[in-house]
Structure 1
Amino acid sequence: MIQNEHQYKVTKGEIDKLQQVIDKLREQPNLPPSQLAAMQNSFQTQIDRMQMEIQEYEDLKVGKVEITMGTIEDLPKVLIQKRISLGMTQKELAAKLGIKEQMVQRYEASGYESIGLGRLMEVWNALSVSIPMMTVS
Structure 2
Amino acid sequence: MIQNEHQYKVTKGEIDKLQQVIDKLLEQQNIPPSQLAAMQNSFQTQIDRMQLEIQEYDDLKAGKVEITMGSIEDLPKVLIQKRIGLGMTQKELAIKLGIKEQMVQRYEASSYESIGFQRLTEVWNALSASIPNVTVS
Q: Residues 33, 70 of structure 1: CA spacing in aligned structure 2 closer, same or farther, 3 A cutoff?
A: same
Greater Cα offset, 104-113 or 124-133: 124-133
1:128 is matched with 128
TM-score, normalisation: structure 1: 0.96
Query: After superposition, what is the alpha-carbon deviation per residue over 1:5-45, rounded to whole angstroms, capped at 9, x for unaligned?
Result: 00000000000000000000001100000000000000000
2:10 is matched with 10
Check conservation: 2:68, 2:133, Cα contact below 8 A: no
Give the % identical residues: 88
Cα distance in structure 2, aligned partners of 1:134 and 1:23: 46
Cα distance in structure 2, aligned partners of 1:60 and 1:83: 9
5+ residue gaps, structure 1, are: none
Query: After superposition, what is the alpha-carbon deviation per residue over 1:69-126, rounded to whole angstroms, capped at 9, x for unaligned?
Result: 0011100000000000000000000000000000000000000000000000000000
Tell me, what secondary structure is at the counterpart of 1:130? coil
**Runs ≥4 in structure 1, deviation > 3 angstroms?**
132-137
Cα distance in structure 2, aligned partners of 1:3 and 1:60: 10
Q: Residues 101, 132 of structure 1: CA spacing in aligned structure 2 closer, same or farther, 3 A cutoff?
A: closer
Check conservation: 2:70, 2:135, Cα contact below 8 A: no
Aligned CA RMSD, in angstroms, stands at: 1.6
* Alignment: residue pair count: 137
Letter in 2 for 1:35: Q
5+ residue gaps, structure 2, are: none
Cα distance in structure 1, aligned partners of 2:134 and 2:75: 15
Letter in 1 for 2:31: L
TM-score, normalisation: structure 2: 0.96
Cα distance in structure 1, aligned partners of 2:133 and 2:66: 17
Check conservation: 2:91, 2:100, Cα contact below 8 A: yes
1:21 is matched with 21
